[in-house]
Protein backbone atom coordinates (compact mmCIF):
# COMPACT_ATOMS: atom_id res chain seq x y z
CA UNK A 1 0.00 0.00 0.00
CA UNK A 2 1.46 3.41 -0.91
CA UNK A 3 2.30 5.53 2.10
CA UNK A 4 0.64 8.66 0.81
CA UNK A 5 -2.49 9.62 -1.06
CA UNK A 6 -1.78 10.97 -4.54
CA UNK A 7 -3.50 14.27 -5.33
CA UNK A 8 -3.19 13.95 -9.10
CA UNK A 9 -5.37 11.79 -11.36
CA UNK A 10 -4.04 8.28 -11.97
CA UNK A 11 -5.12 5.64 -14.48
CA UNK A 12 -6.59 3.63 -11.62
CA UNK A 13 -8.77 6.59 -10.63
CA UNK A 14 -10.17 6.88 -14.10
CA UNK A 15 -11.38 3.28 -13.95
CA UNK A 16 -13.17 3.50 -10.63
CA UNK A 17 -14.40 7.01 -11.27
CA UNK A 18 -16.44 5.82 -14.19
CA UNK A 19 -18.28 3.39 -11.95
CA UNK A 20 -18.76 5.90 -9.12
CA UNK A 21 -19.94 8.85 -11.18
CA UNK A 22 -23.51 9.91 -10.37
CA UNK A 23 -25.68 9.85 -13.51
CA UNK A 24 -28.49 12.22 -12.57
CA UNK A 25 -28.69 15.73 -11.18
CA UNK A 26 -30.52 14.46 -8.09
CA UNK A 27 -27.68 12.06 -7.21
CA UNK A 28 -25.06 14.80 -7.74
CA UNK A 29 -24.34 15.86 -4.17
CA UNK A 30 -23.66 19.47 -3.10
CA UNK A 31 -23.04 22.46 -5.45
CA UNK A 32 -26.65 23.45 -4.79
CA UNK A 33 -26.47 26.81 -6.59
CA UNK A 34 -25.12 25.21 -9.74
CA UNK A 35 -27.74 22.45 -9.60
CA UNK A 36 -30.51 25.00 -9.26
CA UNK A 37 -29.15 27.05 -12.16
CA UNK A 38 -28.68 24.12 -14.51
CA UNK A 39 -32.00 22.49 -13.71
CA UNK A 40 -33.78 25.71 -14.72
CA UNK A 41 -31.68 25.99 -17.88
CA UNK A 42 -32.37 22.33 -18.77
CA UNK A 43 -36.11 22.68 -18.24
CA UNK A 44 -36.27 25.87 -20.30
CA UNK A 45 -34.18 24.46 -23.16
CA UNK A 46 -36.28 21.31 -23.24
CA UNK A 47 -39.52 23.30 -23.27
CA UNK A 48 -38.26 25.34 -26.22
CA UNK A 49 -36.92 22.23 -27.93
CA UNK A 50 -33.47 23.83 -28.16
CA UNK A 51 -29.93 22.82 -27.25
CA UNK A 52 -28.73 23.88 -23.81
CA UNK A 53 -26.74 27.12 -23.69
CA UNK A 54 -22.92 26.71 -23.65
CA UNK A 55 -21.65 26.03 -20.13
CA UNK A 56 -18.28 26.90 -18.58
CA UNK A 57 -17.32 25.03 -15.40
CA UNK A 58 -14.29 26.11 -13.42
CA UNK A 59 -12.63 25.09 -10.19
CA UNK A 60 -9.85 22.87 -8.83
CA UNK A 61 -9.47 19.29 -10.14
CA UNK A 62 -11.66 16.50 -8.77
CA UNK A 63 -14.66 18.64 -7.83
CA UNK A 64 -17.04 17.14 -10.39
CA UNK A 65 -16.77 19.07 -13.67
CA UNK A 66 -16.59 15.99 -15.91
CA UNK A 67 -19.30 14.31 -13.87
CA UNK A 68 -21.57 17.31 -14.29
CA UNK A 69 -21.02 17.35 -18.07
CA UNK A 70 -22.14 13.71 -18.21
CA UNK A 71 -25.20 14.52 -16.13
CA UNK A 72 -26.12 17.45 -18.40
CA UNK A 73 -26.10 15.17 -21.42
CA UNK A 74 -28.11 12.49 -19.57
CA UNK A 75 -30.67 15.02 -18.42
CA UNK A 76 -30.95 16.53 -21.90
CA UNK A 77 -31.12 13.03 -23.42
CA UNK A 78 -28.30 13.74 -25.90
CA UNK A 79 -24.96 12.20 -26.83
CA UNK A 80 -21.81 13.26 -25.03
CA UNK A 81 -18.50 13.67 -26.80
CA UNK A 82 -15.45 14.13 -24.58
CA UNK A 83 -12.13 15.68 -25.52
CA UNK A 84 -9.55 18.00 -24.00
CA UNK A 85 -7.69 21.18 -24.91
CA UNK A 86 -4.25 19.62 -25.31
CA UNK A 87 -5.66 16.73 -27.40
CA UNK A 88 -6.74 19.01 -30.26
CA UNK A 89 -3.70 20.37 -32.06
CA UNK A 90 -5.03 21.57 -35.41
CA UNK A 91 -8.03 23.63 -36.42
CA UNK A 92 -8.98 20.89 -38.91
CA UNK A 93 -9.28 18.43 -36.01
CA UNK A 94 -11.62 20.78 -34.18
CA UNK A 95 -13.65 21.28 -37.36
CA UNK A 96 -13.92 17.51 -37.78
CA UNK A 97 -15.13 17.05 -34.20
CA UNK A 98 -17.73 19.79 -34.59
CA UNK A 99 -18.83 18.32 -37.89
CA UNK A 100 -19.40 14.90 -36.32
CA UNK A 101 -21.92 16.25 -33.80
CA UNK A 102 -25.66 15.74 -34.10
CA UNK A 103 -28.42 18.18 -33.22
CA UNK A 104 -28.46 18.87 -29.47
CA UNK A 105 -25.22 16.94 -28.75
CA UNK A 106 -22.99 17.96 -25.91
CA UNK A 107 -19.27 18.47 -26.53
CA UNK A 108 -17.16 18.43 -23.37
CA UNK A 109 -13.71 20.03 -23.63
CA UNK A 110 -11.64 19.51 -20.49
CA UNK A 111 -8.73 21.91 -19.84
CA UNK A 112 -10.24 24.25 -22.39
CA UNK A 113 -7.72 26.98 -21.46
CA UNK A 114 -5.05 24.85 -23.15
CA UNK A 115 -6.54 25.07 -26.67
CA UNK A 116 -4.17 26.84 -29.02
CA UNK A 117 -5.23 30.09 -30.64
CA UNK A 118 -6.03 28.74 -34.13
CA UNK A 119 -8.12 25.91 -32.73
CA UNK A 120 -9.90 28.29 -30.40
CA UNK A 121 -10.82 30.57 -33.28
CA UNK A 122 -12.75 27.75 -34.93
CA UNK A 123 -14.94 27.70 -31.84
CA UNK A 124 -16.03 31.35 -32.06
CA UNK A 125 -18.42 31.10 -35.05
CA UNK A 126 -19.30 27.52 -34.02
CA UNK A 127 -20.49 28.66 -30.59
CA UNK A 128 -22.10 31.87 -31.72
CA UNK A 129 -23.67 31.12 -35.09
CA UNK A 130 -23.39 27.31 -35.28
CA UNK A 131 -21.17 27.32 -38.35
CA UNK A 132 -17.55 26.86 -39.35
CA UNK A 133 -15.50 28.73 -41.89
CA UNK A 134 -13.67 26.41 -44.26
CA UNK A 135 -11.00 27.56 -46.70
CA UNK A 136 -11.32 25.93 -50.10
CA UNK A 137 -8.26 25.80 -52.33
CA UNK A 138 -4.62 26.35 -51.32
CA UNK A 139 -4.16 28.79 -48.43
CA UNK A 140 -2.05 31.30 -50.34
CA UNK A 141 -3.44 30.96 -53.85
CA UNK A 142 -5.66 33.68 -55.24
CA UNK A 143 -8.39 31.17 -56.05
CA UNK A 144 -8.83 30.12 -52.41
CA UNK A 145 -12.00 31.28 -50.73
CA UNK A 146 -13.74 30.82 -47.40
CA UNK A 147 -17.08 29.07 -47.18
CA UNK A 148 -19.38 28.96 -44.15
CA UNK A 149 -20.71 25.51 -43.35
CA UNK A 150 -23.66 25.13 -41.00
CA UNK A 151 -23.34 22.97 -37.88
CA UNK A 152 -26.06 21.33 -35.82
CA UNK A 153 -27.09 23.25 -32.70
CA UNK A 154 -24.85 21.74 -30.03
CA UNK A 155 -23.85 22.59 -26.49
CA UNK A 156 -20.24 23.20 -25.58
CA UNK A 157 -19.31 22.41 -21.99
CA UNK A 158 -15.85 23.71 -21.19
CA UNK A 159 -13.95 22.88 -18.02
CA UNK A 160 -10.92 24.68 -16.64
CA UNK A 161 -9.08 24.87 -13.36
CA UNK A 162 -8.87 28.65 -13.68
CA UNK A 163 -11.32 30.84 -15.57
CA UNK A 164 -8.70 33.62 -15.53
CA UNK A 165 -6.66 31.72 -18.10
CA UNK A 166 -9.41 31.86 -20.72
CA UNK A 167 -9.31 34.52 -23.41
CA UNK A 168 -12.11 37.07 -23.22
CA UNK A 169 -13.65 36.20 -26.64
CA UNK A 170 -13.97 32.55 -25.60
CA UNK A 171 -15.28 33.28 -22.10
CA UNK A 172 -17.86 35.72 -23.44
CA UNK A 173 -19.40 33.03 -25.63
CA UNK A 174 -20.54 30.92 -22.65
CA UNK A 175 -24.10 31.65 -21.55
CA UNK A 176 -23.76 29.80 -18.25
CA UNK A 177 -20.62 30.14 -16.14
CA UNK A 178 -20.29 28.24 -12.85
CA UNK A 179 -17.57 28.02 -10.25
CA UNK A 180 -17.40 24.70 -8.42
CA UNK A 181 -16.79 25.02 -4.69
CA UNK A 182 -14.96 22.67 -2.34
CA UNK A 183 -17.42 20.29 -0.64
CA UNK A 184 -18.39 20.44 3.03
CA UNK A 185 -17.77 17.53 5.40
CA UNK A 186 -21.48 16.52 5.48
CA UNK A 187 -21.58 16.54 1.64
CA UNK A 188 -18.42 14.44 1.39
CA UNK A 189 -19.83 12.07 4.02
CA UNK A 190 -22.85 11.55 1.78
CA UNK A 191 -20.62 10.98 -1.27
CA UNK A 192 -18.50 8.45 0.64
CA UNK A 193 -21.59 6.57 1.88
CA UNK A 194 -22.93 6.42 -1.70
CA UNK A 195 -19.58 5.23 -3.09
CA UNK A 196 -19.23 2.61 -0.32
CA UNK A 197 -22.64 1.34 -1.28
CA UNK A 198 -21.63 0.99 -4.93
CA UNK A 199 -18.31 -0.67 -4.02
CA UNK A 200 -20.11 -2.92 -1.49
CA UNK A 201 -17.93 -1.72 1.38
CA UNK A 202 -19.34 -1.65 4.92
CA UNK A 203 -18.59 1.68 6.58
CA UNK A 204 -19.99 3.26 9.76
CA UNK A 205 -21.19 6.86 9.79
CA UNK A 206 -18.23 7.74 12.04
CA UNK A 207 -15.87 6.12 9.57
CA UNK A 208 -17.38 8.05 6.65
CA UNK A 209 -17.15 11.34 8.57
CA UNK A 210 -13.50 10.72 9.39
CA UNK A 211 -12.72 10.08 5.72
CA UNK A 212 -14.74 13.14 4.71
CA UNK A 213 -12.82 15.41 7.09
CA UNK A 214 -9.57 14.33 5.49
CA UNK A 215 -10.58 14.58 1.82
CA UNK A 216 -9.52 18.21 1.21
CA UNK A 217 -13.09 19.09 0.22
CA UNK A 218 -12.65 16.98 -2.95
CA UNK A 219 -14.86 14.04 -4.03
CA UNK A 220 -12.09 12.48 -6.14
CA UNK A 221 -9.87 12.31 -3.07
CA UNK A 222 -12.75 11.05 -0.92
CA UNK A 223 -13.27 8.11 -3.29
CA UNK A 224 -9.55 7.42 -3.47
CA UNK A 225 -9.19 7.47 0.31
CA UNK A 226 -12.20 5.19 0.66
CA UNK A 227 -10.55 2.59 -1.55
CA UNK A 228 -7.26 2.71 0.33
CA UNK A 229 -8.94 2.46 3.72
CA UNK A 230 -11.09 -0.41 2.45
CA UNK A 231 -7.88 -2.31 1.57
CA UNK A 232 -6.51 -1.58 5.04
CA UNK A 233 -9.69 -2.72 6.78
CA UNK A 234 -9.69 -5.88 4.71
CA UNK A 235 -6.08 -6.83 5.39
CA UNK A 236 -5.88 -5.86 9.07
CA UNK A 237 -9.50 -6.37 10.16
CA UNK A 238 -12.70 -7.99 8.88
CA UNK A 239 -13.25 -5.49 6.05
CA UNK A 240 -15.73 -3.11 7.70
CA UNK A 241 -14.56 0.48 8.17
CA UNK A 242 -15.24 1.99 11.59
CA UNK A 243 -14.21 5.43 12.87
CA UNK A 244 -11.22 3.93 14.69
CA UNK A 245 -10.02 1.93 11.74
CA UNK A 246 -10.35 5.02 9.52
CA UNK A 247 -8.18 7.09 11.89
CA UNK A 248 -5.58 4.33 12.12
CA UNK A 249 -5.40 3.82 8.35
CA UNK A 250 -5.27 7.54 7.51
CA UNK A 251 -2.58 8.22 10.09
CA UNK A 252 -0.53 5.47 8.52
CA UNK A 253 -1.05 7.03 5.09
CA UNK A 254 0.19 10.39 6.39
CA UNK A 255 -3.05 12.21 5.62
CA UNK A 256 -3.39 14.59 8.55
CA UNK A 257 -6.61 15.47 10.38
CA UNK A 258 -7.44 18.26 7.93
CA UNK A 259 -6.62 16.20 4.88
CA UNK A 260 -3.30 17.93 4.14
CA UNK A 261 -0.88 15.56 2.44
CA UNK A 262 2.92 15.62 2.25
CA UNK A 263 2.92 18.18 -0.59
CA UNK A 264 0.63 20.60 1.28
CA UNK A 265 2.80 20.28 4.36
CA UNK A 266 5.97 20.68 2.33
CA UNK A 267 4.58 23.93 0.87
CA UNK A 268 3.71 25.27 4.32
CA UNK A 269 6.96 24.24 5.96
CA UNK A 270 8.98 25.67 3.04
CA UNK A 271 7.27 29.07 3.35
CA UNK A 272 7.78 29.04 7.10
CA UNK A 273 11.29 27.65 7.37
CA UNK A 274 13.04 28.76 4.19
CA UNK A 275 11.32 32.10 3.70
CA UNK A 276 10.54 33.15 7.29
CA UNK A 277 6.82 32.80 6.64
CA UNK A 278 6.89 34.77 3.38
CA UNK A 279 6.05 36.66 1.29
CA UNK A 280 7.47 34.37 -1.37
CA UNK A 281 6.68 34.42 -5.10
CA UNK A 282 5.04 31.43 -6.79
CA UNK A 283 8.04 30.51 -8.97
CA UNK A 284 10.48 30.70 -6.07
CA UNK A 285 8.16 28.57 -3.95
CA UNK A 286 7.81 26.07 -6.79
CA UNK A 287 11.59 25.80 -7.20
CA UNK A 288 12.12 25.40 -3.46
CA UNK A 289 9.49 22.65 -3.12
CA UNK A 290 10.25 20.88 -6.40
CA UNK A 291 6.63 21.26 -7.53
CA UNK A 292 5.30 22.71 -10.75
CA UNK A 293 4.04 26.33 -10.31
CA UNK A 294 0.77 25.57 -12.14
CA UNK A 295 0.13 22.56 -9.89
CA UNK A 296 0.73 24.62 -6.77
CA UNK A 297 -1.60 27.33 -8.01
CA UNK A 298 -4.41 25.04 -9.27
CA UNK A 299 -4.27 22.03 -7.00
CA UNK A 300 -2.71 22.89 -3.65
CA UNK A 301 -3.11 26.59 -3.05
CA UNK A 302 -6.92 26.94 -3.36
CA UNK A 303 -7.48 24.57 -0.44
CA UNK A 304 -4.70 26.09 1.67
CA UNK A 305 -6.13 29.57 1.07
CA UNK A 306 -9.70 28.41 1.79
CA UNK A 307 -8.62 26.95 5.12
CA UNK A 308 -6.68 30.05 6.12
CA UNK A 309 -3.16 28.57 5.95
CA UNK A 310 -1.86 30.87 3.23
CA UNK A 311 -2.62 34.45 2.28
CA UNK A 312 -1.99 35.66 -1.24
CA UNK A 313 -0.55 39.17 -1.18
CA UNK A 314 0.76 41.33 -4.05
CA UNK A 315 4.31 40.47 -2.88
CA UNK A 316 3.70 36.72 -2.75
CA UNK A 317 2.42 33.94 -0.52
CA UNK A 318 2.46 34.37 3.25
CA UNK A 319 1.96 31.64 5.86
CA UNK A 320 -0.69 32.52 8.47
CA UNK A 321 -0.57 31.94 12.26
CA UNK A 322 -2.93 29.07 11.57
CA UNK A 323 -0.27 27.43 9.38
CA UNK A 324 2.40 27.77 12.10
CA UNK A 325 0.00 26.19 14.63
CA UNK A 326 -1.03 23.37 12.32
CA UNK A 327 2.60 22.54 11.57
CA UNK A 328 3.41 22.68 15.30
CA UNK A 329 5.94 25.49 14.77
- Residue 140: enclosing H or E segment and its boundaries? none
C-alpha to C-alpha distance for 286 and 283, rounded to whole angstroms: 5
66 assigned to active site: yes
C-alpha to C-alpha distance for 188 and 181, rounded to whole angstroms: 12
15 assigned to active site: no
Q: Which of 214, 220, 224, 317 is catalytic?
A: 220
Position with the least CB separation from ligand ADP:
64
Axis-axis angle for helices 205-213, 243-252 (nearest 10): 30
Q: Which is nearer to ligand ADP, 34 or 151 (CB)?
A: 34
Q: Which is nearer to ligand ADP, 52 or 132 (CB)?
A: 52
CB of 271 to ligand ADP, least distance (A): 26
Q: Which is nearer to ligand ADP, 191 or 233 (CB)?
A: 191
Using CB under 6 A, list all residues that contact ligand ADP.
Answer: 17, 20-22, 28-31, 61-67, 159, 191, 219-220, 223
CB of 223 to ligand ADP, least distance (A): 5
189 assigned to active site: no
- Residues with Cβ within 8 Å of 305's Cβ and at least 6 positions away in sequence, in order, are 311, 312
CB of 205 to ligand ADP, least distance (A): 17
Q: Which is nearer to ligand ADP, 29 or 151 (CB)?
A: 29
Q: Which of 66, 160, 289, 320 is catalytic?
A: 66
DSSP states of 151-194: ----EEEEEES-GGGS-HHHHTT-SEEEEPPPPPHHHHHHHHHH
Q: Which of 21, 65, 230, 317 is catalytic?
A: 65
Distance of alpha carbon 188 from the chain centroid: 15
Q: Which is nearer to ligand ADP, 205 or 287 (CB)?
A: 205
171 assigned to active site: no
C-alpha to C-alpha distance for 259 and 35, rounded to whole angstroms: 26
- Residues with Cβ within 8 Å of 322's Cβ and at least 6 positions away in sequence, in order, are 307, 308, 309
CB of 190 to ligand ADP, least distance (A): 8
Q: How many other C-beta atoms can be found within 10 angstroms of the C-beta atom of residue 283?
A: 11
Q: Which of 161, 270, 289, 320 is catalytic?
A: 161
C-alpha to C-alpha distance for 134 and 320, rounded to whole angstroms: 55
C-alpha to C-alpha distance for 167 and 170, rounded to whole angstroms: 6
Q: Which is nearer to ligand ADP, 219 or 302 (CB)?
A: 219
251 assigned to active site: no
CB of 224 to ligand ADP, least distance (A): 9
CB of 329 to ligand ADP, least distance (A): 33
Catalytic residue numbers, as ranges: 65-66, 110, 161, 220
Amino acid sequence: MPRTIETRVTEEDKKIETSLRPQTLSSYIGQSQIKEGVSIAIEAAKARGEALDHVLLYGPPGLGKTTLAGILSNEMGTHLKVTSGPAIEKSAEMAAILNSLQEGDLLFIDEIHRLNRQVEEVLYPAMEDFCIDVIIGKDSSSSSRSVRLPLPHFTLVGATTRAGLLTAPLRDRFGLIYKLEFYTVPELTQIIMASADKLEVTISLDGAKELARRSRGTPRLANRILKRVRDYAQVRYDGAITGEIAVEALDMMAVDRLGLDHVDRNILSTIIKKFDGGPVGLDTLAAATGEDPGTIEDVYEPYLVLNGFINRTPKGRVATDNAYRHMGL
